[in-house]
A and B are shown apart, each in its own frame.
Chain A
Amino acid sequence: MLSSNNMISFEKVTKIYGDKSVALEDVTFAVAPGEFMSIVGHSGAGKTTLLKMVMAEETPTSGTVFFDGVDVHRIKRNRISDMRRRMGAIFQDFRLLPGKTAYENVAFAMEAAGRPDDVINTDVPEVLDLVGLSNKMWNFPNQLSGGEQQRVAIARALINQPDILVADEPTGNLDPVNTYEVVQILKKINDLGTTVVLTTHNRGVIDFLGKRVVTLDRGKVVRDDPTGKYVL
């Protein structure tokens, strides 16, 4: 497997937490640029750990994780933020900054990346409009519904035009209508060329997407279907 041609690749990655519980065991797979890959599995199968490895939030016990040909865990601590700016991340619990408005949450990602003010002033309203929140730009997260919060999070993840979008059960806290909308947005992003890695519990989402599915069970990859259905 040539790691340099892939957006993401895992090579024999094992993660054992301190108390000897095995989260991932000998996981090997690769994600090509522009691909939409879903990861399914029961709770505790290792989905979140896997995504944390991509973001360099966790280090593997053994094995290597590559992002665009670079060993993620060899990147110096002060360069990790550069790598993360090339990734967008959304989470089940949204993880917006509670003290900032929707606008400020999105603008923060641009400011942190050192983008100039005039670009921020034009891009942020545009992206918020794209996710249908132009009328709630100045609301704080606690004044938004779950679906709206997740859309702010998506806007924040996309604002720096990342190479890859990492989504950790983004629909886990949403009702069916919002779930459908969020998945639609993810699909659109992928159609525009961004690689997407999604973890989910939701059978409907997988069946709707009809894209590649990797199934994890107790830390091992047990199935990898190019146009998968939800099988567990």
Chain B
Amino acid sequence: MLGTNIKRVSRQGFISFWRNGIVSFVSVFVTTVTLFIIGTVIVGNAFLTASLAELQDKVDVNVYFTIAAPEGEILDLKTRIASLPEVKSVEYTSREQALQNFTERNKGNTLVLQSLQELGSNPLGAVLNIKAKDPSQYAGIVTYLEKQNQSTLSGDAAIIDNINYSQNQLVIERLSKMIAGLEKLGAFVSLILILMAALVTFNTIRLAIYNSRQEIGVMRLVGAGNSYIRGPFIVEGLMYGGVAALLAIILLYPATLWVGQTTSSFFGGIDLTKYYIANFLQIFVLLIVSGTVLGMLSSFVAVRRYLKV
């Protein structure tokens, strides 16, 4: 009995999807736009997150040590910093390495190289390059470093010559505020967009069913039960969502291609199309699920109004 009913309801839903061509077309079209927006928001958020992460990665703090600082103490400090929970990575550049990097950088500049040779000894100190997990944590790390330096100061000579944080402090603070703000704004805009698109779809499907309100009354009078009447409409809603999800996923591909090409010149970091293809399955499942749920739910709610006969 249940099997027969499911079969009948599915068949009726399919037939009326097919016969109400224009209504189905409009509903699928609107749902496609909605799902396209949802897809864009997902890919866009990935894009934003990746761009911000890259920007964050560019922020770091360099600790320059004095020439006299013993390597053992520096490495000791390095392990202590690395154990801090806020720190993402610490990179040690020895004096020799620093000199090599310096010469490498100034290869063409004979004046610099000559003066370096004249100097005889290596004028560069060792460097620790510190990256924090979050830009807002640099202030804390730097304070810690300064305290460490003072505690060594009491015994020995200070080993830290300079921390380039104070020069960059303003930029880092601004950037960290901007990143936090952008993330919040991104989430807010996404939410509003998705909500608006979902409401438009909901109302379109409601209008489509408003067209059938008299039929629903007739079905009641002929003795059809509520779930039997509702079934085909829910199947139709499911089909709107399913077809729209397929269309949206197809449309997203050229869209990511285009956006990727136009923005690669100034971002360069993330390849949108690659991201899209790599996460294709997740995006596809998400669109299918949100499309079908939206379609079915809209139908369910819309039919309920007209079942009161």
A interface list, Cβ under 8 A from B? 55, 57, 78, 81-82, 84-85, 87, 89, 95-99, 108-109, 111-114, 116-117, 156, 160
Selecting from B140-148, B224-232, B256-264, the interface stretch reads B224-232
Inside 8 A of A97's CB, which chain B residues have their CB?
215, 218-219
* Neighbour of A114 across the interface among B4, B222, B226, CB < 8 A: B4
6 further interface pairs, Cβ-Cβ under 8 Å (given A98-B215, A109-B224, A112-B223) = A55-B221, A84-B223, A89-B222, A95-B221, A99-B20, A108-B219
- A109 engages B1 (CB within 8 Å): no
- B5 engages A108 (CB within 8 Å): no
- A108 engages B222 (CB within 8 Å): yes
- B215 engages A81 (CB within 8 Å): no
Q: Which residue of A lies closest to B221 (CB)?
A: A89
B95 at the interface (CB under 8 A from A): no
Contacts A99-B19, A99-B215 known; A109 to B223 CB distance under 8 Å? yes
**A91 CB, min distance to chain B CBs, angstroms:** 9
Q: Which residue of A lies closest to B215 (CB)?
A: A97
| Cβ proximity bits B187-228 to A, threshold 8 Å, 1 near / 0 not | 000000000000000000000000000110011111111101
Complex Cα distance, B219 from A111, in Å, reads: 11
Q: For the complex, would chain B's binding face be called helix, strand, loop or mixed by DSSP majority?
A: helix
B16 at the interface (CB under 8 A from A): yes
Interface size class of B (residues with CB under 8 A): 20 to 34
**A105 CB, min distance to chain B CBs, angstroms:** 9
Complex Cα distance, B222 from A114, in Å, reads: 13
Interface members, chain B 1-44 (any A CB < 8 Å): 1, 4-5, 8, 16, 19-20
Complex Cα distance, B8 from A109, in Å, reads: 12
* Neighbour of B225 across the interface among A81, A108, A109, CB < 8 A: A81
B309 at the interface (CB under 8 A from A): yes
B interface list, Cβ under 8 A from A? 1, 4-5, 8, 16, 19-20, 214-215, 218-226, 228, 309
Can you name 22 A-B residue pairings with CB atoms under 8 Å? A57-B221, A81-B220, A81-B226, A82-B223, A84-B221, A84-B222, A85-B223, A87-B223, A89-B221, A89-B222, A97-B219, A98-B215, A99-B19, A99-B20, A108-B219, A109-B222, A109-B223, A111-B228, A112-B224, A113-B223, A114-B4, A160-B223
- B219 engages A114 (CB within 8 Å): no
Complex Cα distance, B222 from A99, in Å, reads: 16
- B222 engages A57 (CB within 8 Å): no
- A108 engages B309 (CB within 8 Å): no
* Neighbour of B16 across the interface among A82, A95, A99, A111, CB < 8 A: A99
Complex Cα distance, B223 from A114, in Å, reads: 11
Complex Cα distance, B221 from A160, in Å, reads: 13
Inside 8 A of B214's CB, which chain A residues have their CB?
95
Contacts A57-B309, A99-B19 known; A112 to B221 CB distance under 8 Å? no
Inside 8 A of B225's CB, which chain A residues have their CB?
78, 81, 112
Complex Cα distance, B225 from A150, in Å, reads: 24
Complex Cα distance, B20 from A85, in Å, reads: 28
- B5 engages A114 (CB within 8 Å): yes
Most buried by A among B221, B223, B228: B223
- A81 engages B218 (CB within 8 Å): no
Contacts A114-B1, A114-B5 known; A95 to B218 CB distance under 8 Å? yes
- B219 engages A112 (CB within 8 Å): yes
Inside 8 A of A116's CB, which chain B residues have their CB?
4
Most buried by B among A85, A87, A108, A109: A108
Inside 8 A of B222's CB, which chain A residues have their CB?
84, 89, 108-109, 112, 156
**A167 CB, min distance to chain B CBs, angstroms:** 13
Q: Which residue of B lies closest to A82 (CB)?
A: B223
Inside 8 A of A108's CB, which chain B residues have their CB?
219, 222, 224
Contacts A97-B215, A97-B218, A99-B20 known; A81 to B4 CB distance under 8 Å? no
Inside 8 A of B223's CB, which chain A residues have their CB?
81-82, 84-85, 87, 109, 112-113, 160
- A81 engages B20 (CB within 8 Å): no
